[in-house]
């Protein structure tokens, strides 16, 4: 009986110190409840609006469980494609190197108006947004805007789960949101 009590006490102590952990409990609990996955996410073009929206801004933010990239538009999103693949210039097809793993974001919206004037301006095509110090993002780069499509390259730390969704507003505008988890 004393041996059984000693073994039970040793087992409880080992579990309390973290030397023995139940594997099923840790494997079943995703990081921050995130279950997004890392496969491509796309929405085909919607012709419900009479014109394509225009890209007006690209910005980023940090959250507890993920980093977020937002592309602001002056109208409703008409489609997008977000996937891990090599980042290339949208008009040229030339490779554009990114820091980290390439997550390519294409939105069905030009960054120029009907007269060819830019609707989104930036100083450095290799650094649209300062993401220094972010846990997941390494770089946000310009891929171009051609034939009513705009491409943005997001360099991330590794191939991590991500989600994509659209927020309506402000006003008649909308926002394409890409969240990339800090880890699996």
On whether residue 106 sits in a domain, the answer given is: yes
**Is the residue at 65 inside a domain?**
yes
What tokens appear for 126 in the block?
């290799």
The answer to the question of residue 14 being in a domain is no
82 located within any domain: yes
Mean predicted confidence (pLDDT) in 29-42 = 92
**Structural domain includes residue 142:** yes
User: Which residues lie below 8 Å from residue 166, measured CB to CB, with a gap of 6+?
Assistant: 43, 77, 174, 175, 176, 177
Is position 11 within any domain? no
Q: What is the pLDDT of residues 53-89, one digit of tens each?
A: 999 999 999 999 999 999 999 999 999 999 999 999 9
8-28 pLDDT, tens digit each = 666 555 555 554 444 444 455
CATH number of residue 81's parent domain: 2.60.40.3500
Overall domain count for the chain: 1
Let me know if residue 66 belongs to a domain. yes
Q: What are phi and psi of 157, to 5 degrees?
A: -60, -40
pLDDT band at residue 44 under the 50/70/90 scheme: confident
| Cβ atoms 175, 71 nearer than 8 A | yes
pLDDT above 70 coverage of the chain, percent: 81
Position 17 in a domain:
no
Distance CA 150, CA 153 (A): 10
Q: Return the pLDDT at 51.
A: 80
User: Residues 83-118: pLDDT tens digits?
Assistant: 999 999 998 999 999 999 999 999 999 999 999 999
pTM across the whole model: 0.82
Which of helix, strand or coil describes residue 95? Answer: strand
- Range of the structural domain that residue 146 is part of: 31-181
CA atoms within 13 A on the CB side of 54: 12
Contacts of 70 (CB under 8 A, 6+ apart): 57, 58, 59, 60, 61, 175, 176, 177, 178
């Amino acid at each position: 009986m004393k041996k059984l009590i000693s073994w039970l006490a040793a087992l409880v102590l080992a579990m309390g110190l973290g030397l023995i952990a139940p594997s099923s409990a840790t494997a079943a609990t995703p990081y921050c409840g995130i279950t997004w996955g890392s496969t491509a996410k796309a929405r085909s073009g919607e012709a419900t609006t009479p014109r394509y929206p225009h890209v007006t801004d690209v910005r980023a933010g940090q959250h507890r469980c993920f980093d977020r990239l937002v592309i602001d538009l002056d109208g409703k999103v008409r489609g997008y494609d977000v996937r891990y693949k090599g980042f290339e210039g949208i008009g040229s097809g030339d490779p554009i190197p990114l820091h980290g793993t390439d997550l390519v974001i294409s939105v069905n919206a030009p960054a120029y108006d009907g007269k060819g004037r830019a609707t989104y301006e930036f100083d450095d095509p290799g650094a649209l947004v300062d993401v220094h110090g972010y846990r997941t993002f390494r770089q946000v780069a310009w891929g171009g805007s051609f034939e009513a499509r705009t491409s943005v390259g997001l360099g991330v730390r590794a191939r991590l789960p991500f989600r994509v969704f659209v927020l309506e507003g402000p006003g008649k505008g909308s926002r394409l949101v890409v969240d990339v988890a800090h880890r699996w």
